[in-house]
Chain A
Amino acid sequence: AIRMTQSPSSFSASTGDRVTITCRASQTVGSFLSWFQQKPGKAPQLLISTASILQSGAPSRFSGSGSGTEFTLTISRLQSEDFATYYCQQYYTYPITFGQGTRLDIK
């Protein structure tokens, strides 16, 4: 199975900050990479698919980049509603696998 490793696993930031989360795949996944946001007690929500395509309804402050084995999720200016856990996911091959998650807390 392809292992997805996110860094950092958790960190604190302030409203207005620019933050970047990295996701590395143990082998190439092409551009078959998505990012999800999950808030406590809620289902995950798709933010970005195909590495860089912003999901309809997702705020434009979110962006994704990368291909192959290294990907990033960037939030240009953190808003209060962005404090959540973020997961990357590869759907290039079976089994579909997720990263371990990155928890973003308020500093």
Chain B
Amino acid sequence: EVQLVESGGGLVQPGGSLRLSCVESEFTSSTYWMNWVRQAPGKGLEWVANINQDGSEKTYVDSVKGRFTISRDNAKNSLYLQMNSLRAEDTAVYYCTRGSTFDIWGQGTMVTVSS
């Protein structure tokens, strides 16, 4: 069974940085687009960014453009989200998900931006 496991969340001050990681268990993710989706406490789902199979195409929601960078290392079966200039409104559980249909999700990692 394919599994995605996120890590790297935590408490960070406004203006700080964090790097999230997502590792896939079965070495299938290199053939898929990959996504990051977030969910603020008690709120709905928000797509954040995605990346194509070889990392040459990346797309972001407007609210994170210029601050977040999605990347991948297929040799390590890993997806990343570098988050800079963090704001309170970035506080959320961050999920990595597989493919254009989001068919597999990780368990999520919590990011809290607070002083």
Interface residues of A (CB under 8 A from B): 34, 36, 38, 43-46, 49-50, 55, 87, 89, 91, 94-101
Chain B 36-69 interface mask (CB, 8 Å, partner A; 1/0): 0000000011110010000000010110000000
Interface residues of B (CB under 8 A from A): 35, 44-47, 50, 59, 61-62, 95, 100-103, 105-108
Contact B103 A46 (CB under 8 A): yes
Contact B101 A34 (CB under 8 A): yes
Contact A91 B100 (CB under 8 A): yes
A100 to chain B, nearest CB (A): 5
Contact B105 A44 (CB under 8 A): yes
B47 to chain A, nearest CB (A): 4
Contact B105 A49 (CB under 8 A): no
A51 to chain B, nearest CB (A): 11
Contact A46 B101 (CB under 8 A): yes
Q: Hey, which chain B residues are within 8 Å of A45, CB to CB? A: 105
Residue of B35, B45, B59, B108 with most chain A CB atoms under a 10 A cut-off = B45
A and B contact pairs by CB, cutoff 8 A, 27 listed? A34-B102, A36-B45, A36-B102, A43-B105, A43-B106, A44-B95, A44-B102, A46-B101, A46-B102, A49-B101, A49-B103, A50-B101, A55-B103, A87-B45, A89-B47, A91-B101, A94-B59, A95-B47, A95-B59, A95-B62, A96-B35, A96-B50, A97-B47, A98-B44, A98-B45, A99-B44, A101-B44
